[in-house]
Structures are given as structure tokens and as C-alpha cells.
């Protein structure tokens, strides 16, 4: 179908948030209050932090402040791939923390298992399906990338199954596939908005005081108490945790480490049984292709296809703006790629199109820290893989607040910070050259130019 025609009636809002399950907003913070812990941010980072703070010690008084609505940002607009990896994939982990990779992989699987158990414990229905992820190669050079780490996979005992062309097409049938790797248990599909709302309900049930539409404008530390000011009230606490993603940070130093990268997504109408049968997909895995600019796609519980990725856009100046949530050129490109991948679905139209902002850091996986004498902690920089890893990040924040040394706080990954981005306007220049080089590498059998090789050597990168 002509992509423009297929997109003509697509709503310009995130499919997941366009839902009858969306709860009414919690009340604004009005007046002055005190608490033991204030969590800022009502995305996955903040929700997990508030929930687990109460699970660790039910007697503490926890307030959660969200500037807009729970889950409205990256948390409610993502692909819903809830992954075990804490390192933005095996290759990135191997490159940066080889000596602790086995521990990181084990902790990542335990984190995903715990997410699953939490859903049972609080009866959170977010269509959780632990189907795994199918990594597919669509160019010959990508096949080498998929087989590159086989020895390490065997050594770590990971549940990955290599698939040749026919085997991968027996799973999900696209004429573009040349081979694949099925990571069987390290990834689950979720409805991310329903997960966020379920965590919100669980927080409320445990006694967390949740306030939405309560943006924190400033933070004042008098030596023992940190006071957070919102438009209609203040919250003062002994301890503060920031899960504020890529938004203008309350702690200035975070500005150097995260940049906003926009990522775009389409959702189709529900497939008919005949359309689904034409693709196969009976094991319902999430799928990711293996270019530097990659697509991710998956089925929803009513058999729509979510189709996202490829263009990772940094707008010069590095601002977060509502107008950037829509990008028609990217939607058309994504639609063309969808039909090229699945010609059997040529008659399928799109019901929704949207974008969201990713908190990208130069090492692609979250970093952590303390400030104000250890009374304030933060986690940021999940770089497009935070649906599962934010729970681990929340645990790190709570460990840091407790002052205890734990297996998590002793990780080099947790102790080290990423390399900062240069300030603007150099930042924009560096990122745009990197984006151009990445696109070029995909057109040249994966060959990385001098610029990318230099960045690789410095341990610096740009990704969504």
C-alpha cells in the first residue's frame, strides 16, 4: 500500500497511552509536606524506586512527584521489550565490563525474574509474554555479527538459539531474513503503559503518596533536609531519588552525561487471522534487525504490529519539545520498511504514530550517583533499554541511599560514569557526524569509517 495512504488515518499519539485503562490523575501536591523519601519522576525509574523502598521498609513515608502524568514519557511510549540485559546488549557489556559480564548477565536475568514475580504479587495485567527476542540478519555482514559471540554465549550458558535462513523464516516469515539468533528467555513483551499504571496502583496500595501534575522546579538543601518546590507546594525529606530521565535535570552535573534522542514508532491495525498466518510468528517473539540503524517490532495482545526504530534523531541544541514527537518523513520511511519486510501485509494500515525521547549516554547503559552528602541519588542514561533495567537502577539508588555495600554497588559498571558529551554547539556537530557515519556504515557492509573507529577506541558512542 502507498505509505501515505496507509498512514492517513493514524492517530498522532502513543497507542499504549490511548487506552481505557488509563487511571485518573492523582492529586497535585498542594501545601507543604514532609516525608522520609521523595522520589521525583513517575516513569519506570521512579515507580520502581518508590515501590521497592516500601517493600524494603514498610514503615517509611514515601512521596512520589511526577511533573505530568504517570508514564506519559518514554515509559508509556516504548516498544515494550522488557529485557534482562543491563548493559545494552552482550557486545556493549563485553566491550566495557568484560570481567564482570557473567555477574551482570546473572543479575539481569534475576531482575527480569523479579519483574515477573512482582506482576504476580500485585496482579498487574500488562500482557507480559516471555517470548524472547529474535535478532535477525538482513545483510550478509550482519550474519558475522550474530555468530561473533557464540563462544561467549556458550561459556556464559545463555539461552540463545542460532537459526539459519529457513529456520528463522519458519519463526517469522520475511523474504529479507538471512539468518537469526533467538534469545529465548532474556526478554519479555509488555504493554508498558499498563505496567506503569500497575506499578502506580501497587505503590498506592503500599501507602506511597503519589502526586501527578507536580513538577519539581527547584531543590534546596539545608544540610539535613532537602526541600523540593512545586508550583502549589513543597515536599521536604531526608532523602531524595531522581528518576527524571532526560528532562532538564535538578542536578546540573547530569546535563553533561545525557542527550535527548528521538525515536519513532508505528502501530498497525490488528492483523486478521489470515494476515497473521501469512507471517507465522506463532512464538510471538520481539524482533530486532541487526544494522547499526535497526528496527524493532513485535505483536500486541490483539495482534497489531508495533514497528519502530531506525531513525534516531538528535535535534541540534538538544532540547526536549512536544513538536519533536511527530516526524512525518520518518513515519513514511518506517512504513516503507514495514512493507518491504512483510510484503504479505501490503493491505495493512497503521492506527497510531508517535515519537518519544530517549536518555542517551555515551556508554549506552545507565549510570548512577550520589550528591548532597549521599542524601540524593540518581539513575539515568538507560539509552533505549530501560523497560527492565530501570528496576535494577531503582535497586542501585536504594542501595546507595542505605549506605550499604551490596553486590550491585560494588560493580565497576555502577561506580564508573560515562564519558561526558562536549557542550553545545560542538555536541550537535559531533552527534550529527556520528549519525551520518553510522548510516554510511550500514550502506557499506558494516564497515566503520575513521571517525567511528576513533570513537570506538575512546569508548564513546551514539545510539538510541
Q: Which residue has the cell 556504515?
A: 441
Q: Which residues pair with 353 in a beta bridge?
A: 266
In this structure, the strands spanning 233-242 and 376-380 are parallel
Q: Does 63 bind ligand FAD (CB under 6 A)?
A: no
Q: Which is nearer to ligand FAD, 247 or 310 (CB)?
A: 247
Q: Which stretch binds ligand FAD (CB under 6 A): 78-86, 117-125, 341-349, 442-450?
A: 78-86
Give the integer Cα–Cα distance in Å for 385 and 313: 17
Q: Does 241 bind ligand FAD (CB under 6 A)?
A: no
- The binding track of 385-424 with respect to ligand FAD, each residue x by CB under 6 A or -, is xxxx-x----------------------------------
Q: Which residues pair with 226 in a beta bridge?
A: 221, 237
**C-alpha grid cell, residue 11:** 492517530
| 131-190 positions binding ligand FAD, by CB under 6 A | none
Which residues in 217-271 belong to E strands, given as ranges?
Answer: 218-221, 226-230, 233-242, 259-268
**Cα R_g (the chain), whole angstroms:** 21
- The binding track of 250-279 with respect to ligand FAD, each residue x by CB under 6 A or -, is x------------x-x--------------
| 437-456 positions binding ligand FAD, by CB under 6 A | none
> H helices of 122-191, where?
140-147, 150-156, 165-171
Residue closest to 307 by CA, chosen among 331, 325, 276: 331
Q: Which stretch binds ligand FAD (CB under 6 A): 1-9, 86-94, 171-179, 355-363?
A: 355-363
Residue nearest to ligand FAD (CB): 386
| Pair 337, 331: CB distance under 8 Å | no
Q: Which residues pair with 233 in a beta bridge?
A: 31, 230
Q: Does 216 bind ligand FAD (CB under 6 A)?
A: yes
Pick one of 243, 260, 291, 369: the residue that binds ligand FAD (CB under 6 A): 243
Q: How many residues bind ligand FAD (CB under 6 A)?
A: 42
Q: Which is nearer to ligand FAD, 66 or 289 (CB)?
A: 66
> H helices of 97-245, where?
101-121, 140-147, 150-156, 165-171, 192-206
> H helices of 303-388, where?
328-341
Pick one of 1, 25, 61, 68: the residue that binds ligand FAD (CB under 6 A): 68
Give the integer Cα–Cα distance in Å for 391 and 202: 14
Pick one of 29, 39, 40, 312: the residue that binds ligand FAD (CB under 6 A): 40
Q: Which is nearer to ligand FAD, 44 or 177 (CB)?
A: 44
Q: Which is nearer to ligand FAD, 169 or 355 (CB)?
A: 355
Q: Which is nearer to ligand FAD, 143 or 381 (CB)?
A: 381
- The residues of the shown chain that bind ligand FAD, judged by CB under 6 A, are 40-46, 65-68, 72-75, 77-81, 83, 215-216, 243-245, 247, 250, 263, 265, 296, 308, 356-358, 382, 384-388, 390
Amino acid at each position: 500500500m502507498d505509505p501515505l495512504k496507509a498512514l492517513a488515518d493514524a492517530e498522532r499519539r502513543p497507542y499504549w497511552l490511548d487506552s481505557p485503562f488509563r487511571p485518573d490523575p492523582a492529586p497535585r501536591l498542594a501545601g507543604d509536606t514532609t516525608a522520609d523519601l521523595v522520589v521525583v519522576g513517575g516513569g519506570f525509574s521512579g515507580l520502581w524506586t518508590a515501590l521497592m523502598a516500601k517493600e524494603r521498609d514498610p514503615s517509611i513515608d514515601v512521596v512520589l512527584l511526577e511533573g505530568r502524568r504517570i508514564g506519559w514519557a518514554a515509559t508509556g511510549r516504548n516498544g515494550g521489550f522488557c529485557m534482562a540485559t543491563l548493559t545494552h546488549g552482550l557486545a556493549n557489556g563485553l566491550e566495557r565490563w568484560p570481567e564482570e559480564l557473567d555477574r551482570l548477565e546473572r543479575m539481569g536475568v534475576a531482575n527480569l525474574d523479579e519483574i515477573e514475580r512482582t506482576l504476580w504479587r500485585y496482579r498487574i495485567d500488562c500482557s507480559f509474554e516471555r517470548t524472547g527476542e529474535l535478532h535477525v540478519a538482513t545483510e550478509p555482514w550482519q550474519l558475522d555479527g550474530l555468530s561473533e559471540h557464540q563462544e561467549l554465549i556458550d561459556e556464559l550458558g545463555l539461552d540463545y538459539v542460532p537459526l539459519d535462513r529457513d529456520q528463522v523464516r519458519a519463526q517469522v516469515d520475511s523474504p529479507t531474513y538471512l539468518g537469526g539468533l533467538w534469545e529465548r528467555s532474556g526478554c519479555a513483551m509488555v504493554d508498558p503503559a499498563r505496567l506503569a499504571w500497575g506499578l502506580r496502583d501497587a505503590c498506592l496500595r503500599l501507602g506511597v503518596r503519589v502526586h501527578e501534575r507536580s513538577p519539581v522546579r527547584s531543590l534546596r538543601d539545608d544540610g539535613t533536609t532537602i526541600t523540593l518546590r512545586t508550583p502549589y507546594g513543597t515536599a521536604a525529606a531526608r532523602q531524595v531519588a531522581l528518576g527524571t530521565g532526560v528532562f532538564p535535570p535538578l542536578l546540573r552535573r547530569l546535563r553533561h552525561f545525557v542527550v535527548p534522542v528521538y525515536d519513532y514508532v508505528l502501530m498497525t491495525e490488528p492483523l486478521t487471522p489470515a494476515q497473521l498466518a501469512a507471517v507465522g510468528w506463532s512464538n510471538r517473539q520481539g524482533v530486532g534487525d541487526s544494522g547499526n540503524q535497526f528496527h524493532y517490532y513485535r505483536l500486541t495482545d490483539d495482534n497489531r504490529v508495533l514497528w519502530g526504530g531506525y531513525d534516531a534523531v538528535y535535534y541540534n541544541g538538544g532540547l526536549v519539545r512536544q513538536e519533536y514527537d511527530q516526524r512525518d518523513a520518518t513515519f513514511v520511511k518506517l512504513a516503507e520498511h514495514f512493507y518491504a519486510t512483510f510484503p504479505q501485509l501490503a493491505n495493512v494500515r497503521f492506527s497510531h504514530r508517535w515519537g518519544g525521547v530517549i536518555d542517551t549516554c555515551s556508554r549506552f547503559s545507565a549510570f548512577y550517583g550520589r550528591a548532597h552528602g549521599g542524601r540524593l541519588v540518581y539513575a539515568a542514561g538507560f539509552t533505549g533499554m530501560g523497560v527492565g533495567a530501570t528496576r535494577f537502577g531503582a535497586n542501585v539508588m536504594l542501595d546507595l541511599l542505605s549506605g550499604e555495600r551490596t553486590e550491585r554497588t560494588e560493580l565497576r559498571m555502577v561506580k564508573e560514569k560515562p564519558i561526558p558529551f562536549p557542550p553545545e554547539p560542538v555536541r550537535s556537530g559531533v552527534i550529527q557526524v556520528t549519525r551520518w557515519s553510522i548510516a554510511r556504515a550500514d550502506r557499506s557492509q558494516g564497515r566503520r569509517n575513521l571517525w567511528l573507529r576513533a570513537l570506538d577506541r575512546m569508548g564513546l558512542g551514539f545510539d538510541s
